[in-house]
Structure 1
Amino acid sequence: MGLKGFAEGGIASIVAGCSTHPLDLIKVRMQLQGESGPVPVQTNLRPALAFQTSTTVTAAPPLRVGVIGVGSRLIREEGMRALFSGVSATVLRQTLYSTTRMGLYDILKGKWTDPETKTMPLSKKLGAGFIAGAIGAAVGNPADVAMVRMQADGRLPLDQRRNYKSVLDAITQMIRREGVTSLWRGSSLTINRAMLVTSSQLASYDSVKETILEKGLLEDGLGTHVLASFAAGFVASVASNPVDVIKTRVMNMKVEAGVAPPYKGAVDCALKTVKAEGIMALYKGFVPTVSRQAPFTVVLFVTLEQVRKLFKDFDF
């Protein structure tokens, strides 16, 4: 196996990540909807009367907007280029996270596949996914934090925006202002999400592909790859969306010296989110998650299969 699995997985992941970046951005914006609490507004009902006191009126929470609404508003208010906000972070994230997880899964798959039957039990596929996803997420967390912040920046008021110029600028500013540990903010969530995504995505793809070929439904070609990868993308979306919502909110929260952060951690964020917005808030952005995860997984595995063909005669 060597480094080939890392190179193949890395190339395929970067292509897939860049292709579906706008959908990922819309997903992040939707997951942050409803996060801010009521805004107190001071109004004087009768300013002419000296004894009249000010009355606090609670502003209504913002309406939840769907995929098309979020996307069209983003383009209208920030321009077409905003659809690729944070794309440099996506490239770095895929280079670090996906290259690592795909390469490690390939190595574990090679070691745990039965040499006689050439098969690997589902339990071992899931185990390989858990291990590969956890290590990949730990390596790629700094780029993940930067990507979430860059994607969310446009929804903030002008005076509150971070205005990162690039992923390297984002990482540099985070270290300078919040310390190096800020690069691993939400890492427990990132790792949990990556374990769920990697195990469900890669194991589902391998299992569905094997079933299609064993039953003779299709030949080992583009149709099989697309069908298996679409199924894998849907399974991964269902498994990971709740963790993804909490991860996005924890990573995006603004931390200032002397001010208590909005969330104490992942559990606190989950409890506050469910209490304020209901249990289904954990599936905010599910439609764009599936809309992004399905094509991402299709592009990922279709590209991966083609890259493997190109690299089949090379050994490194």
Structure 2
Amino acid sequence: MGVKGFVEGGIASIVAGCSTHPLDLIKVRMQLQGEKVHAPNPQPIHNLRPAFAFNNLHVPHSSAPPLPPPPRAVGPISVGIRIVQSEGLAALYSGVSATVLRQTLYSTTRMGLYDMLKTKWAQENSNMPLAHKILAGLIAGGIGAAVGNPADVAMVRMQADGRLPSAQRRNYKGVVDAISQMSKQEGVASLWRGSALTVNRAMIVTASQLASYDQFKEMLLEKNVMNDGLGTHVTASFAAGFVAAVASNPVDVIKTRVMNMKVEAGSVPPYNGALDCALKTIKAEGPMALYKGFIPTISRQGPFTVVLFVTLEQVRKVFKEF
């Protein structure tokens, strides 16, 4: 029974992850909008000496031209069109190999563990209390995220690569190459960069997504609003996707930025951790920056959750006899 839950959850997660990958890529690009490029400070103007000077000649100081306003954030459709125009249609699936690996490691683990805990904690002939569902989701999500973090870092970097100038791109050939290069250039520990954030996000997502799906589904069935079928699965899963998106978006923005930052030898990293990243983001871009990419997040989280649970219910029917 336990192993079957892992297999069922893994199949459903890979199908859902691949089918919504372009929306996830757009979400990552939007979350990086407005992030300052951390470059070495240029030499202050007052330290620069002119190559020649005119003696006894007074040149009035002219006021410097005003800085151009920061680029306006654009919506998910515009971001998607821009990606296709500048990088080609295939760019929407940049990092899909990392998505498959991430779903295989992370989602298979969390879905299987949640199923095991739900089976173990469910009261005889009754549904598991909501508090137990949330606790099961927190535990399963945390463990799954720790297992899948290397693939998560690789996926974020591969999705973000196309927004960089050609000379600065990492140009990973695939998820294995990404993990290999990160290990060689930045150390094995870099594979778990942002892992605290990944674990926190996964705990929030899994608890809100899986627990709320079960809760919404049970409510619809118990109150005879709908019968147990496709309509119930779609309704409950879309509601669960919305709850998960609202709960997880701020952590997801910080996770994306920490994972994507470039750390070069001998230089100070742009962020010293999750809290530092959050504070710098809020200071530079305002508190609502933590909800950057929310439209593609809900646009992705909704369909992802629907595909996940609808596929899961169908896979369960197929595996019922085993």
Alignment of 1:1-316 (within 5 A): 1-36=1-36, 50=53, 58-116=67-125, 118-314=126-322
Check whether the contact 1:153–1:162 (CA below 8 A) recurs between aligned residues: yes
Query: How many residues get paired?
Result: 310
Question: Residue 38 of structure 1 contacts residue 59 of structure 1 at CA under 8 Å; is this kept in 2?
Answer: no
Query: Does the aligned pair in 2 maintain the 1:208–1:228 contact within 8 Å?
Result: yes
User: 1:147-195, CA deviations, whole angstroms, 9 ceiling, x for partnerless residues?
Assistant: 0000000000100000000000000000000000000000000000000
Q: Distance in 1 between matches of 2:149 and 2:195?
A: 6
Q: Partners of 1:164 and 1:221 in 2: how far apart?
A: 43
**SS at 1:3's partner residue?**
helix
Q: Is the 8 A contact 2:22 2:92 kept in 1?
A: yes
Distance 1:232 1:104 in 2: 19
Q: Return the alpha-carbon distance in structure 2 between the equivalents of residues 38 and 66 of structure 1.
A: 24
Q: Distance in 2 between matches of 1:136 and 1:57?
A: 49
Q: 1:210 to 1:277 in 2, by over 3 A?
A: same
Give the secondary structure class of the aligned counterpart of 1:64: coil
SS at match of 1:260: coil
TM-score, length-scaled by structure 1: 0.94
Q: Does the CA contact (< 8 Å) of 2:198 and 2:255 recur in 1?
A: yes
Structure 2 distance, partners of 1:27, 1:139, is 23
Q: Is the 8 A contact 2:204 2:244 kept in 1?
A: yes
Amino acid at match of 2:154: A
Unaligned runs of at least 5 residues, structure 2: none
CA contact (8 A) 1:41 1:56 kept: no
Deviation at 1:65, TM superposition (A): 1.1
Larger Rg: 2
Q: TM-score, normalised by structure 2?
A: 0.92
- Quick one: structure 1 residues 57 and 171, their matched pair in 2 at CA, closer, same or farther if it must change by over 3 Å? farther
In the TM superposition, residue 63 of structure 1 has moved relative to its aligned partner by: 1.9
* Alignment partners' CA distance in 2, 1:222 and 1:24: 25
The amino acid across from 1:4 in the alignment is K
Residue 297 of structure 2 aligns to which amino acid in structure 1? T
Q: 1:37–1:48: structure 2 CA closer, same or farther, 3 Å change rule?
A: same
Query: Which amino acid letter does the alignment assign opposite residue 69 of structure 1?
Result: S
- Identical aligned pairs, as a percentage? 75
Structure 1: give runs of 5+ residues left out of the alignment: none
- The Cα RMSD (Å) is 2.1
Q: Displacement of 1:56 after TM fit?
A: 8.8
